[in-house]
Amino acid sequence: MRIIITGTGGRLGAAVARHLRDRHRVIAWDRKALDLRSPEQIADHFGGLEFDAVIHCAALTGVDYCEQHPEEAHAVNTAAPAQIARICHQRGARLIHISTDYVYDGRAPGLREESDACAPLGVYAQTKHAAELAVLATDPAFLVARASWIFGPDRAGFVDAIIQRAQKDPDCGAIADKWSTPSYSVDQAALLEALVLHPGAGGVVNLGNAGACSWMEYGQAGLDLAHAAGIPLKCRVLTPQKCADLPGFLVGRPVHTAMDTTRLASLTGRDIRPWQEALADYIGTYYGRR
């Protein structure tokens, strides 16, 4: 299969490109190869190529950056995927568009199902949600895959930052009143391959590992695993913090967005492993060597 992957300089796109390139003809575009702010560049890049599918991972992902740069966020997170969807539809290609758990309203505890209400807060979530609507309005057979709290070897994220801080600072905290599902980019890449090969997989699917935790539980699991891997830590136990106590956030985040993976398991025919197992795999594989 000839598969275009965008965002291959990022955490998910890099893992997807690496996973697919042995078995498929992969065309990998990072920001240097294609700037999604330019509709002309998008038209030029896709225009001259033969392809069967696009996995669109690129996005402007900084929640507070998007709040401060709404035009850029709209161009990259909404207008570009809408244009890519139109191109894929015209060319008869399959599209998987990566979205986010931040589109859910997240007011009730529990696991979010794909049909749950959306109420995106702030520019990042609103531009991502607008893209979902545009993609599925263009072709309901396209797939919107909602990701959450991605970790992996290609770009440091929350759990890496906590481990780094805990190596220097004996007093580290993390938010204990917001819940989601940590998700391993390596697992997501394998699941995306199954989804791209499944032409009947349309609509919305939650793309994560299984289970739920607070940011603090996620960080604490990371510290416990790093300690077990022999990394010297000055802080071994995180102090709980509340979202409301952190003045740094420019925009609110949804509270309960851990995701139900029943549809993901059914579409891919795979068991979705728990986030704890995936995190142990990541830290065991990559941290011993750092």
Ligand X SMILES: NC(=O)c1ccc[n+]([C@@H]2O[C@H](COP(=O)([O-])OP(=O)(O)OC[C@H]3O[C@@H](n4cnc5c(N)ncnc54)[C@H](OP(=O)(O)O)[C@@H]3O)[C@@H](O)[C@H]2O)c1
Which stretches of the chain bind ligand X, using CB under 6 A?
A: 7, 9-13, 30-31, 34-37, 57-61, 76, 98, 100-101, 128, 147-150, 155
Of 36 and 93, nearer to ligand X (C-beta) is 36
Q: Strand pairing of 213-214 and 179-180?
A: antiparallel
Spatial separation of the C-alpha atoms in residues 78 and 148, rounded to whole Å: 19
Q: Which residue is nearest to ligand X (CB)?
A: 10
Q: What gap in Å lies between CA 104 and CA 129, rounded to an integer?
A: 9
* CB 98, min distance to ligand X, A: 4
E strands present in 32-160? 53-56, 94-100, 143-147, 150-151
Q: Which is nearer to ligand X, 59 or 135 (CB)?
A: 59
In whole angstroms, how close is the CB of 155 to ligand X at the nearest point?
Answer: 5
Strand partners, 214: 179
Q: How far is the CB of 207 from ligand X (least distance, A)?
A: 9
Tell me which amino acid residue 281 is: D
Say which amino acid occupies 200: G
Q: Which of 204, 232, 238, 236 is nearest to 104 (CA)?
A: 204
SS3 state at 230: coil
Least Å distance, CB 206 to ligand X, is 11
Nearer to ligand X, 227 or 249 (CB): 249
CB closer to ligand X out of 63 and 223: 63
Indicate the residue among 147 and 226 with the shorter CB distance to ligand X: 147
Dihedral sign (CA 284, 155, 66, 204): negative
What whole-number distance in Å separates Cα of residue 38 and Cα of residue 135? 18
To the nearest whole angstrom, how small is the minimum distance from the Cβ of residue 158 to ligand X?
Answer: 7
Q: Please report how close the Cβ of residue 150 comes to ligand X at its closest, in angstroms.
A: 4
Decide whether 30 or 113 has the Cβ nearer to ligand X: 30
Please state the closest distance from residue 11 (CB atom) to ligand X, in A.
4
Which is closer to ligand X, CB of 29 or CB of 233? 29
Return left, alpha or beta for 109; rule: phi > 0 is left, psi -120 to 50 is alpha, else beta: beta
Core vs surface per residue 36-66: b (16+ CB within 10 A) or e? bbeeeebeebbeeeebbbbbbbbbbbebeeb
